[in-house]
Amino acid sequence: MSVEPYFASLPQGARIHLENLRDIIRAAAEASNAAPLEENLKWGQPSFAPPKRKGTPIRLSWSQKSPERVEMLVHCQTTLVEAWRHRFGDLFDYDGTRAVHISLEKHLPEEALHIMAVMALTYHQRKG
């Protein structure tokens, strides 16, 4: 299922941030040989999955419950969010072991997000 209707349904600020995040994830996949990504909707959110056994999918989200931010989510049983917290500290707000919150009022920290995407898209490959 295409992710385009999801993006089209978003308010402008959230749409711009999430479309930029999608571009960062795609570039990270190319840079880390984790392409092609499988893009579809999972739990109503855009999901970007690398080839099996290479990495873990990344999902993107915006919610009317928290309209001031977007989220980048990964599987909660990975150690990714903990590693991101250790590496990037207070650059982001973190949600347990599953997500980073990114304020719509700030510019995207593209370099950090690229590194985070590479870490997720190559998670199993690096672990093994």
Q: Domains along the chain? A: 4-123 (3.90.1150.200)
Average pLDDT over residues 7-13: 96
What pLDDT does residue 98 have? 95
Sorting pLDDT into bands at 50, 70 and 90, what band is 125? confident
**Are the beta carbons of 79 and 107 closer than 8 angstroms?**
no
| Phi and psi, residue 71, nearest 5° | -130, 145
Q: How far apart are the first and last CA of the chain?
A: 31
What pLDDT does residue 2 have? 87
pLDDT at residue 128 tops 60 = no
Question: Mind listing the pLDDT tens digit for each residue in 14-42?
Answer: 999 999 999 999 999 999 999 999 999 99
What pLDDT does residue 52 have? 85
